């Protein structure tokens, strides 16, 4: 400082034959430090080389540049966040050491010595962790990932970090922002085709080319579901949605007859009955803004219980029942496990209160289903012993219609009846797949026709022309099949807002799909939500245009693997006809009774959350007005 005060901002020094300049002017410092022209360290650093060799501090040229590029991600804020725990632990040890020193009645404490030891502890722990991570990473890379990285190097992807992959783009983001992030990555990097995403050590491909999708969904080659579906196994066990191989094939064959049109014809009476309860509830709400989803959800829960098990849980009239609360708990658990990294791994999740809440809810759901199965099996056996007719013609001893459960009770696999556990798995699967999915579809249907009043008018005209002006006229299977325009509106709703926004498959063996090598263990994601908004697949994709699905009048040629709200191929949704009939029955009865207006800014699309079932960030609110003819 004295030299600068005496001689100015630049000082020339000769130390024997060594010439040196000392600079203090900011503009000079910017030239020296601000570019890569003067990167090499001064001779004084040579004393460190015997220890550091060519570490980052003393290396130069190409070696320095390459090392710097590799090491930079290690100081990403997500990594630094994990180091804070070490800083805290060693700082507390530092404080304890000072307290011991003070208790020894020393007059003077050399604080620098203690700081030096604390810093040494911190950096040693971090150094060991870094070295261990580097060694393990290199070992894993050479043993497993080198081949995977090599064969997938030409698949486009966003910027990634070592070890984390692309996880830093998603961790900590609100669920509704993930949809926008994926959309952006697909548009910018994949150009609407195929995107590579590494989530830590897990490789994922997102595919949006119908030719690739046809290969994945069109055969049984990729029948195994992706890892995300494992979160459903505590509830559904090995039901049709998550089972694989021979078990899936056998179960699918047994269950298919349950969705024969003659069975569906009987279910329409239940759709009619439960939608009437919904109308009663909406009648009390029509003077104010109403969250339709809540009431629709209870209606579909009653409907699915009645059709699946032949019993009513009266969810619409007893919203606080134990069964209803258990279903809501499981829905909340699935949401949190999808978007919280801490809950995604079983070994951390099982330590949480959420896991304990899930266990209690599962006990309620499983015990309820098990109880109904035992009761109905006993009734079946009693009916067989008392009835002279053949087993297949038994009426189950009651006046009510056959439920899904009754069909399973009479089914066999390899000439053996299904066990109670087999039946419970499929009944619970039917409950899950037929409950939230239809609720989502109906809510978005009402949103679309409320924001497109002309479409609502056409729906009502058709409903009145088919069912008449008397709102008490019940819907029937035959009448619902005549609602052609309503059908188009449902299809268009499912294009824009598919109930299941993402489908997942697991690749078990390395394979090739249209020139792309897919390594074993890769998760393939296919997003009906993204496909439905692709301009190269659908004209004016953000506009609600039901007529595009009219095969008679539409000039738009639809690729069957571009529109897949019910998936496609051998593992498509087995209950899609059931779902379409239920949606039609409910919307027909509601629209006959009420005009529906959207309460909100219709110019701004709803903010979506893409979990297992498509939802909105905020409730969609509606105003209902009694329809006057």
Which residues carry a binding-site annotation for heme? 573
Pairing of strands 194-199, 18-23: unpaired
Quote the longest CA-to-CA distance of the chain: 119
CA distance 11 to 6: 10
Using DSSP's 3-state secondary structure scheme, residue 157 falls into coil
Bridge partners (DSSP) listed for residue 19: 14
Contact 277, 302 (CB under 8 A): yes
Q: What is the distance of C-alpha 103 from the center of its chain?
A: 57
Q: How many Cα atoms sit within 13 Å of 366 on the Cβ side? A: 15
From first CA to last CA, the distance across the chain in angstroms is 93
Q: How far is CA 253 from CA 250, 433, 575, in A?
A: 5, 18, 13
Contact 559, 209 (CB under 8 A): no
Using DSSP's 3-state secondary structure scheme, residue 516 falls into strand
CA distance 531 to 528: 5
- Mapping DSSP onto H, E and C, the string for 549-571 reads HCCCCCCCCCCCCCCCECECHHH
Contact 521, 497 (CB under 8 A): no
Compute how many other C-beta atoms are within 10 angstroms of the C-beta atom of residue 430. 28
Rg (CA), the chain: 32
Phi-psi region of 319 (alpha: psi -120 to 50; beta: other; left: phi over 0): alpha
Pairing of strands 614-616, 523-526: unpaired
CA distance 492 to 546: 5
Compute how many other C-beta atoms are within 10 angstroms of the C-beta atom of residue 471. 13
Query: Which of 623, 606, 554, 626 has its CA nearest to residue 292?
Result: 623
Binding-site residues from annotation: 573
Q: How far is CA 412 from CA 95, 257, 264, 536, in A?
A: 71, 13, 21, 46
Using alpha carbons only, what angle is made at residue 154 by residues 153 and 159, rounded to the nearest 5 degrees?
A: 70
Contact 193, 526 (CB under 8 A): no
Using DSSP's 3-state secondary structure scheme, residue 232 falls into helix
Query: Which of 493, 463, 495, 490 has its CA nearest to residue 479?
Result: 463
Contact 555, 540 (CB under 8 A): no
Buried b / exposed e along 101-111 (16+ C-beta atoms within 10 A): beeeeeeeeee
CA distance 152 to 517: 7
Query: Which of 508, 456, 603 has its CA nearest to residue 464?
Result: 456
């Amino acid at each position: 400082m004295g030299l600068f005060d005496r001689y100015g901002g630049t000082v020339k020094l000769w130390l024997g034959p060594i010439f040196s300049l000392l600079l203090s002017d900011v503009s000079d410092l910017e030239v020296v430090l601000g570019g890569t022209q003067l990167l090499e360290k001064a001779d004084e650093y040579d004393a460190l080389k015997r220890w550091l060799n060519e570490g980052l501090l003393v290396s130069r040229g190409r070696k320095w540049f390459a090392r710097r590029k590799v090491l930079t991600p290690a100081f990403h804020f997500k990594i630094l966040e994990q180091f804070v725990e070490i800083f805290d632990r060693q700082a507390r040890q530092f404080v304890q050491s000072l307290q011991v020193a003070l208790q020894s009645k020393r007059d003077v404490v050399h604080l620098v010595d203690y700081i030096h030891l604390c810093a040494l502890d911190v950096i040693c722990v971090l150094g060991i962790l870094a070295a261990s991570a580097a060694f393990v990473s290199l070992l894993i890379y050479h043993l497993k990932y080198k081949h995977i990285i090599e064969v997938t190097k030409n698949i486009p992807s966003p910027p990634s970090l070592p070890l984390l992959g692309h996880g830093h783009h998603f961790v900590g983001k609100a669920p509704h922002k993930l949809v926008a992030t994926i959309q952006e990555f697909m548009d910018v990097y994949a150009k609407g085709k195929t995107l590579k995403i590494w989530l830590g050590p897990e490789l994922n491909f997102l595919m949006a080319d119908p030719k690739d999708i046809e290969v994945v969904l069109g055969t049984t080659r990729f029948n195994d579901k992706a890892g995300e579906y494992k979160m459903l196994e505590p509830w559904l066990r090995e039901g049709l949605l998550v089972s694989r191989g021979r078990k899936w094939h056998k179960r699918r064959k047994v269950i298919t007859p349950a969705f024969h049109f003659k069975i569906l014809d009987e279910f329409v009476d239940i759709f009619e009955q439960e939608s009437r309860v919904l109308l009663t509830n909406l009648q009390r709400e029509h003077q104010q803004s109403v969250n339709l989803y809540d009431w629709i959800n209870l209606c579909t829960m009653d409907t699915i219980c009645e059709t699946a098990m032949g019993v009513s849980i009266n969810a619409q009239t007893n919203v606080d029942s134990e069964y209803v609360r258990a279903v809501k708990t499981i829905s909340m658990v699935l949401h949190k496990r999808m978007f919280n990294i801490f809950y995604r791994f079983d070994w951390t999740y099982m330590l949480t209160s959420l896991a304990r809440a899930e266990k209690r809810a599962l006990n309620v759901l499983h015990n309820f289903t098990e109880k109904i199965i035992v009761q109905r099996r006993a009734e079946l056996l009693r009916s067989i012993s008392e009835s002279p007719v053949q087993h297949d013609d038994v009426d189950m001893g009651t006046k009510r219609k056959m439920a899904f459960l009754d069909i399973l009770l009479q089914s066999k696999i390899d000439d053996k009846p299904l066990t109670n556990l087999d039946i419970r798995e499929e009944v619970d699967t039917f409950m899950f797949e037929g409950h939230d999915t239809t609720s989502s579809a109906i809510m978005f249907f009402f949103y679309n026709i409320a924001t497109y009043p002309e479409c609502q008018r056409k729906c009502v005209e058709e409903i009145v022309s088919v069912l008449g002006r008397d709102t008490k006229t019940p819907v029937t299977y035959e009448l619902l099949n005549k609602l052609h325009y309503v059908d188009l509106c449902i299809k268009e709703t499912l294009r824009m807002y598919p109930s299941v926004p993402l489908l997942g498959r697991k690749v078990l063996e390395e394979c090739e799909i249209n020139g792309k090598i897919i390594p074993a263990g890769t998760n393939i994601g296919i997003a009906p939500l993204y496909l439905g908004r692709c301009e190269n697949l659908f004209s004016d994709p953000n506009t609600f245009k039901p007529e595009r699905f009219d095969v008679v009048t539409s000039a738009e040629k639809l690729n069957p693997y571009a529109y897949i709200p019910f998936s496609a191929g051998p593992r498509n949704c087995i209950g899609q006809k059931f779902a379409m009939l239920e949606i039609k029955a409910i919307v027909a009865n509601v629209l006959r009774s009420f005009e529906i207006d959207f309460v909100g800014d219709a110019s701004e699309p709803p903010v979506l959350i893409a979990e297992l079932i498509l939802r909105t960030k905020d409730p969609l609110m509606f105003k209902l007005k009694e329809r006057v003819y």
